[in-house]
């Protein structure tokens, strides 16, 4: 991934509905070149998908709980299947593959501890997770 790809990813992470022509305009590429870059990022697994976050699902202001969840997958769990599962979960804001004793680090935003508990149960039952460790964000520089 080069600097141009990073610019494209940043644009699409802010506005997943940005057209190829808009992306191209912002990074100095033609519409076709921008489309080719986006498709390459999708094929490489850098861009996993696009989703709508509904106002009813999104925490507003300080009412949400931001959490960081270290995840260890079950030995038989396929990483691609896990990432597919993660991409379908509206609470997951980011999922990164990491080194160390865990496989992934998730950044998750939920409304309250009840929703966090439900998410953790789904993570283990449907996500193929054998172990997790959850940390709550107390404050953010934002």
| Residue ranges covered by each domain of the chain | 3-43, 61-136
For 130, list phi and psi in degrees, rounded to 5.
-95, -30
User: Is there a shared CATH topology between the 3-43 domain and the 61-136 domain?
Assistant: no
* Closest to 67 in 3D by CA, of 98, 91, 35: 91
* Res. 6 pLDDT band, cuts 50 70 90: confident
User: Does 3-43 carry CATH code 3.40.50.880?
Assistant: no
Residues 56-109 have pLDDT tens digits of: 555 444 458 899 999 999 999 989 999 989 988 889 999 999 999 999 999 999
Crossing angle (nearest 10°) for helices 20-27 and 3-14: 130
Q: Please state which CATH class domain 61-136 belongs to.
A: alpha beta
93 close to 51: Cβ distance less than 8 angstroms: no
Model pTM score:
0.57
């Amino acid at each position: 991934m080069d600097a141009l790809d990073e610019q494209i990813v940043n644009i699409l992470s802010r506005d997943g509905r940005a057209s190829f022509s808009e992306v191209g305009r912002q990074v100095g590429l033609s519409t076709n070149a921008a489309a080719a870059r986006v498709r390459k990022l999708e094929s490489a697994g850098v861009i996993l998908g696009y989703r709508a976050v509904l106002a009813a699902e999104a925490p507003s202001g300080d009412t949400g709980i931001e959490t960081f969840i270290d995840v260890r997958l079950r030995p038989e769990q396929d990483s691609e299947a896990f990432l597919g599962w993660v991409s379908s979960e509206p609470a997951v804001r980011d999922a990164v593959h990491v080194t160390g004793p865990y496989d992934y680090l998730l950044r998750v935003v939920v409304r309250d501890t009840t929703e966090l508990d439900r998410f953790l149960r789904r993570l283990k039952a449907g996500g193929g997770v054998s172990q997790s460790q959850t940390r709550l964000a107390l404050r953010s520089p934002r």
